Amino acid sequence: MATTNSSSRALKITAGVAILFGALSVFSGGRVLFGSDEARAAVGDAVLFVLWFNFLAGFAYIVAGIGLFLQHRPAIWVSFGILAATTLAFLAFGNHVLQGGAYEMRTVGAMILRIGIWAIISVVAWRHIGQTPRP
């Protein structure tokens, strides 16, 4: 079992990644959704529901990151919820693709990256907060 200091450090790094990833998601998604025609054109055949999902999920990433930083147990379930929701969004995206919908290949990579990051964050949260005995 990790020491308290290394556990705290792992959580702080994980929280920082979650918050940064959330801020970048909100910024980049907001720029496309609410920005100029040039910003929208730059993303090509973006799938609108995936774009909205990732933009809104960015706020949840920030909430989860704050919870992880504070070592709050609900952050575990927020993290797993984000992982589950992202997986469902990716499945819906796959359905869109299978039905012949236009898309950008980079969306596939971005969704795989998001799922991978939230799988790691969820495991770190579970290992360092979920398995800590309560006083």
Are 61 and 21 a contacting pair, CB within 8 Å?
yes
How many angstroms separate the CA atoms of 42 and 46, rounded? 9
Q: Element (H or E) spanning 121, and its range?
A: helix 105-125
The answer to whether 128 and 11 have CB atoms below 8 angstroms apart is yes
Per-residue pLDDT at 2: 44
Q: What is the pLDDT of residues 68-124, one digit of tens each?
A: 999 999 999 999 999 999 999 999 999 999 999 999 999 999 999 999 999 999 999
DSSP 8-state class, residue 132: S
- Chain centroid to CA 20: how far? 10
pLDDT of residue 134: 56
Taking the C-alpha atoms of residue 128 and residue 11, their distance in angstroms, rounded to an integer, is 7
pTM: 0.89
Please, what's the largest Cα pairwise distance for the chain?
A: 55
1: pLDDT strictly greater than 60: no
Determine what percent of the chain is predicted with pLDDT higher than 70: 94
Closest CA to 40 of 51, 53, 56: 51
pLDDT, tens only, 25-45: 999 999 999 998 898 888 999
